[in-house]
Amino acid sequence: MNNLIRFIVRNHHFFIFLITEVIAFFFLFQYNQYHKSTFVNKAGVALNGINRFTSDIEDFFYLRDANEKLAEENAHILNTLKRSYKENKISYKEIYDSVYIKQWNYMAVNVINNSVNLQNNYLTLDKGQLHGIKENMGVVGPNGVVGVVKHVSNNYAVVISILNPNFKLSARLSDTKYFGSLHWDGIDPRYCWLDDIPNHIKVDVGDKVETSGYSAIFPAQIPLGEVVEAKKDLNSNFYHIKVRLFIEMQSLTQVYVVENYLRDEITKLESKLNIDD
């Protein structure tokens, strides 16, 4: 500090010159329009150059942020693409008719998950509660029964497959109309077993098997398969019939959910029997 003061005192002539010149230039640029504007312009050009240089450098360091922002925007734009949306269209139409009461309604849905090689197989459908799917609705494929809806969320439904030992389907022989229960033994997804057919009737290889329509879940007369082998169980008086399924569970893409409009009526009426007992 002392040295600085000494330096200034020693060069007081120059410093006074400097200060007065600064004051003079201040007046010059402050009160002369021409000088002011020229000074501002010239200084502006120089400052612009410097600013551009520094902002270029700054931009380089902000590239990372900019990239992240762009990526976010990309994600946002991708989200608005059509392929990001699941189609919520419902492809059925109700027709009211006083001659025919519409009992069965079919709704086309897509299978988005499927399994055939597990013990308990399930399917997932791409429509759910919002589209009118409820639990215990039947699911049929192009030629046969696929399963029954087990759980529904807003947009999806899980179906217990016919290839699941817990699933039993009421089925009958097309010719004789004798009915029994169809179930899977957990071994070969192409074959199911039809039990409870009494062994006094005649069953041939190649006989057709169809749904009985007793369950209020599936309509009657949906073809299920044909008999491959009919074993007589000597202990129980019933056949043990091996059925080859028409439906190919491995290649399911589109199935139909079946709704029985009269189901409530049937179940209510049938439940009265239990009360009577």
Partner 1 sequence: MIRLLSRNIIRFLVLVLIQVLVLNNIQLSGYINPYFYILFILLLPFEIPGWAVTLFGFLIGMTIDLFANTPGMHAVATTFMGYLRLFILRYMSPRDGYEPGTFPRVFYYGFNWFFRYALILTLAHHFVLFIVESFNFASFGHILLRVILSTIFTLTLIMISQYLIFRK
Burial of 167 (0-12, 13-18, 19+ CB in 10 A): buried
Q: What residues numbered 64-93 form the site for partner 1, per CB under 8 A?
A: none
List, in order, residues 6 or more apart from 120 with CB less than 8 Å away.
164, 165, 166
Site for partner 1 contains 122 (CB under 8 A): no
Query: How many other C-beta atoms lie within 10 A of the C-beta of residue 255?
Result: 24
38 vs 74 by CB, closer to partner 1:
38
- As measured in angstroms, the least distance from the Cβ of 4 to partner 1 is 18
The SS3 of residue 191 is: strand
Are 180 and 235 a contacting pair, CB within 8 Å?
no
Q: How far is the CB of 31 from partner 1 (least distance, A)?
A: 4
Grouping H, G, I as helix, E, B as strand and the rest as coil, residue 47 is helix
CB-wise, 41 or 267, nearer to partner 1? 41
Q: Based on CB atoms, which residue is closest to partner 1, 31 or 85?
A: 31
1-60 positions binding partner 1, by CB under 8 A: 12-14, 16-17, 20-21, 23-32, 34-35, 38-39
Q: How far is the CB of 8 from partner 1 (least distance, A)?
A: 12
**Pick 34 or 61: Cβ nearer partner 1:** 34
Q: How many CB atoms lie within 10 A of CB 178?
A: 16
CB of 45 to partner 1, least distance (A): 14
Task: Output Rg (C-alpha) for the chain, integer angstroms.
Answer: 42
Shortest separation between residue 49's beta carbon and partner 1, angstroms = 18
- By rule CB under 8 A, what count of residues binds partner 1? 21
Kindly tell me which of 12 and 231 has the beta carbon lying closer to partner 1.
12
CA separation, residue 36 to residues 3, 20, 39, 42, 51 (Å)? 37, 19, 5, 10, 21
Site for partner 1 in 123-142 (CB under 8 A): none
Q: What is each CA distance from 82 to 104, 110, 137, 254, in whole angstroms?
A: 32, 17, 30, 21
User: Nearest distance from residue 51's CB to partner 1, in Å?
Assistant: 23
Q: Which residues bind partner 1 (CB under 8 A)?
A: 12-14, 16-17, 20-21, 23-32, 34-35, 38-39
